[in-house]
Amino acid sequence: MKLSPTAMRYLVIGGGVYVFELVVIVIAQALGANAPLAVAIGYVLGTSLSFILQKFVTFGDKRTHHKILIPQIIATLVLVLWNMGFSVALAAILNGIVPAVITRTVALAITTIWNFYIYKTRIFKNDDIEPLG
């Protein structure tokens, strides 16, 4: 199965943000955070970076007018809260059984699928955007 250029960009950026999140989780735990808190910190920082990169690079959405950007941010925040709740709940359920970085990896694999669909079809959808590549 060949992935579209958009899907490839999404996965490459997602992979980079994933590494960033893992580093944040490890640092947070080294500073005394428990697994759910470490995952939450990594998640917030990672998803903030991800929004910027996915909007401008993956989906080529350069629109920055507040009438476009504010609804995108609100929709993304709703998605982020849902994903964060899912990720932290999974970390809490698996705390002491599975390391936090593994828990986050499993949660990330699950949320990656629904996030791509929602970003592509709802949040960054713009029929006027020229596709990249």
Encoded tokens for 1: 């199965």
Which parts of the chain fold into alpha helices (H)?
5-30, 35-53, 66-94, 100-118
**CA–CA distance, 127 with 123 (Å, rounded to integer):** 12
> Model pTM?
0.71
8 Å CB contact between 34 and 5: no
Mean pLDDT by 10 residues, the chain (133 residues): 90 93 96 94 89 94 93 93 93 94 90 92 76 47
